[in-house]
């Protein structure tokens, strides 16, 4: 069937013998846009086998050569930004301009990783024994960083390209092979991205891309004995993966409920601009989106007015038109968001705009006077709906932030840098941004979530280091 995108295994594009496919629904039209192969467990087994054998020779490939191939893939990726961005628009309704940015950012990330990799992997340690009590200088210890083996990468729908390469590039530079399971919404963008790696000429079997239903191959992949490391970005699934996984390193970036704490001395125009960018870009479908505003009562009215004025200017419509607010990824996601909105309505939140929804398109909504008994105070809508909680002390804000199960990022707005640093120290989140909205980038910064928001730290350097193990050789002198 020519209409079904093939999966990528052993350096070739293949049809699944299952004869089944998975439909990808365009969030805007709500019609089937693409179809991908529903791979079988046997096909996963074959992929794992080739990944294992390809990795053995890849680990022996000189570091500079691995880097060279990654640079090549990065350049090809950037050359193909237009068709890949088009897929992102159709599959996940990402505004056209942002879709192009995602691909370019991905090319840059791959190149940066290649450069960083040749530096940090080209260095090991040399230790001598006589610095530890009781030892003579009779032992020399040489350490190096060696690959883990086969890395399983599972990125989410909101960055199917960027959050795939942020796993692929560190895995490959470090000498690992890579099996990608793309999200269903975003699978075709990912296949196109993989094609760029194919064109760059990586050895057969080193990279593969397996598509299919999570319910059929999800657990099979994550529990597969051939997998030596899982790098996952997404939602609650990550928690169940981590509970079931064997004795392998895990890198997880899960949800967030990023708080924006606003003090009385804050520059309210700056805050409003960041709330718009942080809360509503890609319609709030970012784990680092501002998901709750905690503002001092005395300045709340003024800030809400400013944000309201900016919300009124947001354009709402299809991603092809570069609208600010585009349809959310699926009907079930839209229904979930609506559930949070209705709960807030019943419990008496102030609606700064009328609630409006057409299909998967939800108009941006600011909810004022949200209280802790409302679901939206704690749950992440992953949509263009932002709650405002009025607070009477900074401590109240910190307390709300820390009472969350999540701990990804947070931000604080104040002109008092000492206070900002103290608040940052008090917030139990992986990152705190002072006077700007949360964000993962620049992509070489460490990126990590505490509590239910993740395991380990990402960012280029940390991801490379996470995908290697330390090997020691000790020379014993007579």
Q: What are the catalytic residues?
A: 253, 287
Instruction: Using alpha carbons, list the distances in angstroms from residue 272 to 260, 267, 278, 323, 430.
Output: 11, 9, 10, 19, 23
Binding span for ligand G3P by CB under 6 A among 142-150, 198-206, 281-289, 353-361:
281-289
The answer to whether 178 and 5 have CB atoms below 8 angstroms apart is: no
Q: Does 287 bind ligand G3P (CB under 6 A)?
A: yes
Site for ligand G3P contains 448 (CB under 6 A): no
- Please tell me the distance from the alpha carbon of residue 453 to that of residue 233, in angstroms, as a whole number: 10
Residues in the chain: 478
- Applying CB under 6 A, the site for ligand G3P has a residue count of 8
Q: What is the largest CA-CA distance in the chain?
A: 82
Q: Which is nearer to ligand G3P, 224 or 291 (CB)?
A: 291
CB 150, CB 122: distance < 8 Å? no
Q: Which of 158, 185, 208, 228 binds ligand G3P (CB under 6 A)?
A: 158
**Residue closer to ligand G3P, measured from CB, 26 or 158:** 158
- Provide the minimum distance between the beta carbon of 473 and ligand G3P in the complex, in angstroms, as a whole number: 38
Q: Which positions from 236 to 275 touch ligand G3P by CB under 6 A, shown as an x/- string?
A: ----------------------------------------
Given 83, 246, 348, 441, the residue binding ligand G3P (CB under 6 A): 441
Q: How far apart are CA 278 and CA 433, in angstroms?
A: 11
Give, as ranges, the residues between 7 and 66 that touch ligand G3P (CB under 6 A). none
The whole-angstrom separation of Cα 325 and Cα 43 is 39
Q: How far is the CB of 338 from ligand G3P (least distance, A)?
A: 21
Residues 55-114 that bind ligand G3P (CB under 6 A): none
What's the rounded Cα separation, in Å, for the pair 85 and 94? 9
Q: Work out how close the CB of 463 gets to ligand G3P at its nearest, in angstroms, rounded to a whole number.
A: 12
Part of the chain binding ligand G3P (CB under 6 A), chosen from 83-91, 125-133, 320-328, 439-447: 439-447
Strand partners for 140: 128, 475
Shortest distance, position 457 Cβ to ligand G3P, whole Å: 13
As measured in angstroms, the least distance from the Cβ of 443 to ligand G3P is 8
Closest distance to ligand G3P from the beta carbon of 187 (Å): 17
Burial class (CB in 10 A: 0-12, 13-18, 19+), 153: buried
Q: Which helix (H) or strand (E) holds 260?
A: strand 258-262
User: Among 55, 106, 288, 414, which residue interacts with ligand G3P (rule: CB under 6 A)?
Assistant: 288
* Contact in structure between 189 and 171 (CB atoms under 8 Å): no
- Which residues are within 8 A (CB) of 285 and not within 5 positions of it... i.e. 6 or more apart? 158, 328, 329, 382, 383
List of residues contacting ligand G3P (CB under 6 A):
158-159, 286-288, 439-441
């Amino acid at each position: 069937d020519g209409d079904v995108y093939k999966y990528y295994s052993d350096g070739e594009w293949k049809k699944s013998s299952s004869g089944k496919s998975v439909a990808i629904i365009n969030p805007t039209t709500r019609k089937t846009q693409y179809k991908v192969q529903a791979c079988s467990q046997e096909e996963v087994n074959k992929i794992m086998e080739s990944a294992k054998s390809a990795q053995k020779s890849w680990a022996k490939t000189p570091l500079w050569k691995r880097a060279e191939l990654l640079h090549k893939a990065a350049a090809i990726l950037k050359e193909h930004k237009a068709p890949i961005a088009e897929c992102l628009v159709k599959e996940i309704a990402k505004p056209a301009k942002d879709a192009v940015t995602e691909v370019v950012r991905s090319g840059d990330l791959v190149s940066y990783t290649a450069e960083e990799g040749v530096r940090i992997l080209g260095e090991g340690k040399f230790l001598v024994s006589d610095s530890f009590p009781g030892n003579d200088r009779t032992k020399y210890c040489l350490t190096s960083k060696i690959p883990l083996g086969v890395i399983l990468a599972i990125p989410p729908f909101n960055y199917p390209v960027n959050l795939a390469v942020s796993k692929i590039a560190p895995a490959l530079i470090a000498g690992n092979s890579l099996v990608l399971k793309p999200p269903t919404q975003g699978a075709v963008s990912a296949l196109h991205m993989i094609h760029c790696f194919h064109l760059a000429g990586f050895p057969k079997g080193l990279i593969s891309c397996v598509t299919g239903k999570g319910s059929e191959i999800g657990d099979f992949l994550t529990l597969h004995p051939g997998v030596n490391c899982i790098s996952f970005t997404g939602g609650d699934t990550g928690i169940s993966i981590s509970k079931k996984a064997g004795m392998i390193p895990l890198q997880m970036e899960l949800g967030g409920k990023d708080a924006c704490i606003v003090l009385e001395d804050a520059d309210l125009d700056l805050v409003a601009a960041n709330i718009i960018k942080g809360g509503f870009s890609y319609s709030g479908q970012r784990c680092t989106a501002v998901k709750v505003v905690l503002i001092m009562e005395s300045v709340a009215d003024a800030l809400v007015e400013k944000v309201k004025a900016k919300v009124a200017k947001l354009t709402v419509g299809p991603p092809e038109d570069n609208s600010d607010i585009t349809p959310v990824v699926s009907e079930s996601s839209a229904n979930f968001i609506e559930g949070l909105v209705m709960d807030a309505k019943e419990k008496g939140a102030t609606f700064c705009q009328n609630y409006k929804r057409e299909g998967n398109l939800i108009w941006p909504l600011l909810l004022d006077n949200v209280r802790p008994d409302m679901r939206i105070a704690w749950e992440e809508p992953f949509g263009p709906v932002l709650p405002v909680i009025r607070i009477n002390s900074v401590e109240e804000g910190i307390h709300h932030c820390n009472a969350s199960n999540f701990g990804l990022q947070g931000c604080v707005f104040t002109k008092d840098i000492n206070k900002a640093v103290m608040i940052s120290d008090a917030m139990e989140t992986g990152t705190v941004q002072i006077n700007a909205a949360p964000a993962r980038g620049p992509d070489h910064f460490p990126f990590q979530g505490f509590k239910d928001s993740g395991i380990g730290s990402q960012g280029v350097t940390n991801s490379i280091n996470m995908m290697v193990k330390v090997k020691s050789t000790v020379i014993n002198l007579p």
